[in-house]
Chains A and B, each alone.
Chain A
Amino acid sequence: MNIPRSPRTRLRVGPLATSAGGRTAPELDVDALLDDRRTGIIVCCGSGGVGKTTVSAALGLRAAERGRKVVVLTIDPARRLAQSMGIEALDNTPRPVAQVDQDAGGTLDAMMLDMKRTFDEVVESQATPEKAQQILENPFYIALSSSFAGTQEYMAMEKLGQIHADAQRDGTYDLIVVDTPPSRSALDFLDAPERLSSFLDGRFIRLMLAPARGPAKLMTAGLSLITNALSKILGAQVLRDLQTFVAALDTVFGGFRQRAQKTYALLQADKTAFLVVAAPEPDALREAAYFVERLNEDRMPLGGLIVNRASPVPEGTLSADEAMAAAERLRKLDPESLTAGLLRLHADQSRMVEREALLRTRFAAAHPQVATAVVPALAGDVHDLVGLRRVGELLAGA
């Protein structure tokens, strides 16, 4: 599949290219970021449906073709994109991507992340085989490993930690690009270490562990009150499963917490760059603002904002209103007038561009320090290396 190139030689983008008053953001130099050998990790975050996976893959491909040894960790690529990268199988191991231009000495591997497998591996590495088995089979674990708020996000970071450690040891990669899960809480992984700790230190867990640890007579009246209330609501079997689970997990969580803290430190390091991806829509930009603020709060290194799939700015200076008025005049003469149709399209396009420019200006006014790259929307879908290469060019403003 080819991405049809527009007949125009160069796509222009909104007020970043053509400053139209108001505040404009500093430009994000994507190539400088990719070429800088000190950049070891790029994390792409953003809300769902903004093209985060495509951006991650395009960044990885561009970096590889500029000489970096890259691995891309992706979460949920479109089927055809995954096929074209050769990663439709979920085996939790990076695989080389075919047809990457290696003239500059770079390579590209890609991997689709299996969250549950990653979680299982962590448990297996932390516990004795019997203990691990006991945990893996517990219904609470099975549900937890797929539904604990932030688990998915955290597992992406856990895998990042593993691959980073391997790469440091073997020199396999010098750049890791991470795509984060398309959830509203895409930054929940930042909270995961803390949440794990407060979970373990919480009164409820101690309560659950109490019968297993001490003689029953130590149970206070308060405790039995709670246990009774819980078995009334949950049933006794559920309560027993829960107690087994908590007791089993308690033994492996120490190591777990340590890993979480290590990964957190890795993310804070200078070699990491977070890129926030957004569509030029109010909701996506509001999420982006939240990400930017959250990353600052946690002192995570923010690389910049990527406004993806922006409406291309039409040529010429004909305004939307002028175009609509002219279209009406033509339509009166000929209801099926081609030119009237073209003018209406132009008006529609101009209005979209105006609205998006306003949204970006507002974002820049509130976050003037955030370097921004605007990627114009392609006319076609991206599902092969040719398309990714094109997105890479647009990212770099080439």
Chain B
Amino acid sequence: MSEGSEKRSAWSKVRLHVVTGKGGTGKSTVAAALALSLASEGKSVLLCEVEGRQGIARMFDVDPLPYQEREIARGLRGEGENGAGVVHALHIDPESALMEYLAMYYKLGRAGRALDRFGVIEFATTIAPGARDVLLTGKVFEAVERNSRNKGATRYDAVVLDAPPTGRISQFLNVSDELAGLAKMGPIKHQSDTMMTLFRSPRTAVHLVTVLEEMPVQETADGIAELRSNRLPVGAVVVNMVRPRDLQAEDLAAARAGTLDAARVQGDLKQAGVDTDDDLVRGLLTEAHDHAERRALEDSQRTIVGGLGVPVLELARLAGGVDLGGLYELAADIREQGLR
């Protein structure tokens, strides 16, 4: 059994993929690409965002998302056994989640409207400690464990959550802890316990996105330790924006040491029909030197990532930026590396 297929069997049961990462590492991009990759397997996927950014709408070039599941894309055709699956997207905001929750679970009627009028909804979603997170995770839970209360709703094979950053992820998912000081019993306690059962089960995987730089890697290591100590299931580390590897190892070493042969490069350039001057050659060697420096740092960080005891995926840096085409490219990369 290849390494890839082992990963596949470990993750094929996962219904909830939580994607986190330090700011600037591209976690939203990875979440979107993962959703597309799962859809390319023929799965029906829901991609959720919870930070009010409307990043999904921008990435997929659609109108800002409402609090409503919208079809936004299809997986790559002709690759899944059952044809390409559909990706739906949902923008979860705490106010709507709370109103929906109250309507679904409590027949409050007049009192429900009074809660809104008296500013209770606003209070609960902006100030009441932990309530925001619980409302957001609660809606995600509902999407994964759809039951008869939500009539006519689509059922999904997988839910991908573009989650808060690594520094906050354990707290975010640790719903019962957030509420522990507040609700020791009663209906909220019961519901948060049910949510924790899903989040701690093998049906959930928390993936951490990083780039090969010191701080994000350190944060990833800390994040994994924290997830583990909270018994939350760690999925993969996705190393994003990996620099191109166009130089052979020995050339890389020479570039770093500043011993690349300028005359040879000049000769090659002439042969390739490029108008050369000393500036161009010097420029190329300088770029190679800086690149080699960065690559050396990347390699040392890669060793650290490799030692985290978690499957690792690598995604290339797209020089032209990430557009919809880029997302499909990354999705194909993710599939090839076996995160399904």
A and B assemble together: yes
How many whole Å from B50's CB to the nearest CB in chain A?
Answer: 11
Q: What secondary structure prevails in chain A residues at the interface with B?
A: helix
Q: How far is the CB of B144 from chain A (nearest CB, A)?
A: 23
B80 shortest CB reach to chain A, Å: 31
Q: Are B114 and A233 in contact (CB under 8 A)?
A: no
Chain B nearest CB, measured from A83 CB (Å):
13
* B296 → chain A closest CB, angstroms: 9
Contact present for A315 and B23 (CB under 8 Å): no
Pick the residue among B123, B265, B279 that contacts A202 (CB under 8 A): B123
Once A237-B184, A330-B271, A338-B264 are accepted as A-B contacts, the answer to whether A348 and B319 lie under 8 Å apart by CB is yes
Check if B247 sits within 8 Å of A7, measured CB to CB.
Answer: no
Contacts of A234 in B (CB 8 A): 182-183, 186, 188
> Is the CB of A232 closer than 8 A to any CB of chain B?
yes
Q: Is the CB of A346 within 8 A of B258?
A: no
Question: Which of B34-42, B81-89, B194-202, B286-294 is found at the contact surface with chain A?
Answer: B286-294
Contact indicator A284/B24 (Cβ below 8 Å): yes
Bound: A207/B112 CA distance, A = 16
Say yes or no: B114 contacts A315, CB within 8 Å. no
**Residues of chain B contacted by A139 (CB below 8 angstroms):** 129, 181-182
Q: What CA separation (Å) do A352 and B291 show in the bound complex?
A: 14
Residue A235 interfacial (CB < 8 Å): yes
> Once bound together, how far apart are the Cα atoms of A349 and B285, in whole Å?
13
Asked if residues B120 and A143 are in contact (CB atoms below 8 Å), the reply is no
User: Complex Cα distance A229/B109, Å?
Assistant: 10
Taking a contact as CB atoms under 8 Å apart, the answer to whether A228 and B274 are in contact is no
Whole-angstrom distance between the alpha carbons of A202 and B123 in the complex? 9
Q: Is the CB of A342 within 8 A of B123?
A: no
Alpha-carbon distance A237/B291, docked complex (angstroms): 60
Contact residues in B for A144 (Cβ distance below 8 Å): 127, 129
Closest to B213 in A: A381
Given contacts A7-B258, A342-B284, contact A143 B182 (CB under 8 A): yes
With contacts A7-B286, A316-B283, A379-B294 known, is A142 near B25, CB below 8 A? no
**C-alpha gap A122/B118 in the complex (Å):** 29
- Cβ 8 A contact of B246, one of A50, A207, A281, A341: A341
Knowing A225-B111, A326-B274, A379-B290, say if A315 contacts B297 (CB, 8 Å): no
Task: Report how far A11 CA is from B68 CA in the complex, Å.
Answer: 49
Cβ of A318 under 8 Å from chain B: yes
Q: Which of A207-229 contact B (CB under 8 A)?
A: 207, 222, 225-226, 228-229
Q: Does B187 contact A (CB under 8 A)?
A: yes
Q: Which of A48, A80, A238, A241 contacts B214 (CB 8 A)?
A: A80
In the complex, what's the smallest C-beta–C-beta distance from B29 to chain A, in angstroms? 10
Between A202, A230, A347, A348, the greatest number of chain B beta carbons within 10 A of the residue's beta carbon is seen for A348
Nearest neighbor of A279 in chain B, beta-carbon distance:
B24
Residue of A nearest to B289 (CB): A7
* A142 in contact with B284 (CB, 8 Å): no
CB-based contact B114/A326 at 8 Å:
no
Complex-state Cα separation, A343 to B52, whole angstroms: 42
> Given A316-B283, A346-B284, does the pair A49, B24 have CB atoms closer than 8 Å?
yes
Residue of B nearest to A356 (CB): B321
- Would you call B127 and A226 a contact (CB within 8 A)? no
Bound CA–CA A342/B52 (angstroms): 42
Tell me whether A48 and B22 are in contact (CB under 8 A): yes
Least Cβ distance of B187 to chain A in Å?
Answer: 7
Whether a CB of chain B sits under 8 angstroms from the CB of A147 is yes
Asked if B218 and A78 sit within 8 Å, CB to CB, the answer is: yes
Q: A47 contacts the other chain (Cβ, under 8 Å)?
A: yes
**A207-B51 Cα distance, complex, nearest whole Å:** 30
Seen from chain B, the residues whose Cβ lies within 8 Å of a Cβ on chain A are 22-25, 51-53, 55, 102, 106, 108, 110-112, 114-115, 118-120, 122-123, 126-130, 132, 165, 178, 181-189, 213-216, 218, 244, 246-248, 251, 258, 260, 264-265, 268-269, 271-274, 277, 279-280, 282-291, 293-294, 297, 319-321
Q: Could you name 18 residue pairs across A and B whose Cβ atoms are closer than 8 Å?
A: A6-B286, A7-B285, A49-B24, A49-B25, A143-B129, A147-B129, A203-B118, A222-B118, A226-B111, A233-B106, A235-B189, A282-B321, A318-B280, A338-B260, A342-B265, A345-B284, A345-B288, A379-B294
Identify the A interface with B (CB < 8 A). Answer: 4, 6-8, 47-50, 78-80, 139-140, 142-144, 146-149, 182, 184, 195, 199, 202-204, 207, 222, 225-226, 228-230, 232-235, 237-238, 241, 279, 281-284, 312, 314-316, 318, 322, 326-327, 329-330, 333, 336-349, 351-352, 355, 379-381, 383
Beyond known contacts A199-B123, A235-B183: 19 more, CB 8 A cutoff: A4-B293, A7-B258, A7-B286, A7-B289, A49-B22, A143-B181, A143-B182, A144-B127, A195-B126, A202-B122, A330-B272, A337-B268, A340-B246, A341-B248, A345-B288, A346-B283, A349-B287, A381-B215, A381-B297
